[in-house]
Amino acid sequence: MSARSDIAPSTLGVELHDYGVEVEYIDNRTTVYRGVPEAVTGTLATAPGKEVHVLVTDPTETEGVMMYVNDLKSHDDVLESSGVGRVILGEGEEEELFPGVLVRRVPGHRFEIEADPEVARGRVFVFVEDDWAEHSYEFVAE
């Protein structure tokens, strides 16, 4: 099975805590993206070579959908069983992940994410991480 296919996301459980964002996958595993997300407006540019995960909640903030951007580590069957989606972008390509949420790949293995929470009709979180650090962001209305 290819480890580089686009995969549609499923609805996941979400809990917002004062210490981070907890996501429950459809296989009942959970993960916590730690830290209070930094508020962003406009465009979020990532550092090169980081893992990028985008989560959009529903208006109740108890469910959401998550996409991994250019994840080359997770195999298709693992993502499908967890409910996480994936999009693979070549340099210069962009895609609307969800209504109001756009991601583009820019030179240097970097990404730019733009989001309008009003169009998304929920909260929009971006988690950017590697083996040394993780950062959480939330798009807010200007």
pLDDT of amino acid 114: 97
| 108-120 mean pLDDT | 95
pLDDT for 2 beyond 70: no
**What digits encode the pLDDT tens for the residues 14-65?**
999 999 999 999 999 999 999 999 999 999 999 998 999 999 999 999 999 9
Break the chain into its structural domains and give their ranges.
11-139
Task: Give counts: helices (H), strands (E), the chain.
Answer: 2, 13
Strand partners, 24: 13, 30
**Strand, helix or coil for residue 116:** coil
Strand partners, 102: 96, 114
Q: 25 burial class (0-12, 13-18, 19+ CB within 10 angstroms)?
A: middle
**What digits encode the pLDDT tens for the residues 58-110?**
999 999 999 999 998 999 999 999 999 999 999 999 999 999 999 999 999 89
pLDDT of amino acid 141: 87
Q: What is the DSSP letter of 84?
A: -
Alpha carbons 27 and 81: distance in angstroms, whole number: 6
Fold of 11-139: Immunoglobulin-like (2.60.40)
Q: Where are the beta strands (DSSP E) in the chain?
A: 12-17, 20-24, 30-34, 38-40, 43-45, 51-57, 63-69, 85-87, 94-98, 101-106, 110-115, 124-129, 134-139
pLDDT of amino acid 8: 95
pLDDT of amino acid 1: 42
